[in-house]
Amino acid sequence: MVAAERAFYVGEFSHSVDAKGRLTIPSKWRFQGDDAEVYLALPNPGGFITVYPPKMIDRFEEQVSKISLGDAEGQKLITQLGSMAHSFGCDKQGRINLNDKLISHAGIGKKAVLVGNFSYFSIHSAEKYESTDLNDPDLMNRILKQINV
C-alpha cells in the first residue's frame, strides 16, 4: 500500500465481479486508509465508470463550491451529478462494491477491466473494452502531442 497523497493509477487489470457487485482493486492502487468511503465513482458519458481518489475529490469539491447558490442551473447540475455519484472504500480483501446503477450504466457483467488514468482510474465492461481500438498506431503519437511530451 502507498500513501494516499502519492497514489497514482497506471496499467490495465482484468478482474471478476461477484454476484454482490464486488470488484477487487489492484493492490498497487490501494493505500492506507482506503477502507473508509474515500473513492467517488461517477458514470462516464463514454459508457464506463470513472473513479476518483481523495486528492481528486478535494479538487472536485473545490470547483463545485465555486458555483453560486443563486445559480439555479449550476445547482441543478450539481444535484444531478450528486444523485449519480457513489462513494465507497475497500473491504479487507481490497474489494469495492459497485452499485446497480453504475454496473448497469457501464454494462458490466461477470468481468471488468480497470484502467489507470494516472490521477484516477476507470472501470469498463470487459466486453466493451475489448472492442475498443487501442492498437491504433497513431494513438501514442496523438497522446504524447496532447500532453506536450
Residue-wise pLDDT tens digits, 11-29 = 999 999 999 999 999 989 9
Q: pLDDT at position 83, please?
A: 93
Residue-range definition of the domain harbouring residue 108: 4-146
Structural domain total, the chain: 1
Q: How far is CA 78 from the centre of its chain?
A: 18
Mean pLDDT by 10 residues, the chain (149 residues): 65 95 92 82 96 90 95 95 92 92 96 95 95 70 75
What's the CA gap between 92 and 119, in Å, rounded? 23
What's the CA gap between 65 and 146, in Å, rounded? 29
Which single residue is written with the C-alpha cell 497522446?
A: 143
What 3-state DSSP class applies to 25? Answer: coil
> Which CATH number is 123's domain given?
3.40.1550.20
Which single residue is written with the C-alpha cell 473513479?
A: 51
Q: pLDDT at position 38, please?
A: 85
What 3-state DSSP class applies to 104? Answer: helix
Q: pLDDT at position 25, please?
A: 93
Going across the sheet that includes 86-88, the strands are 12-16, 111-116, 121-125, 48-52, 39-44, 86-88
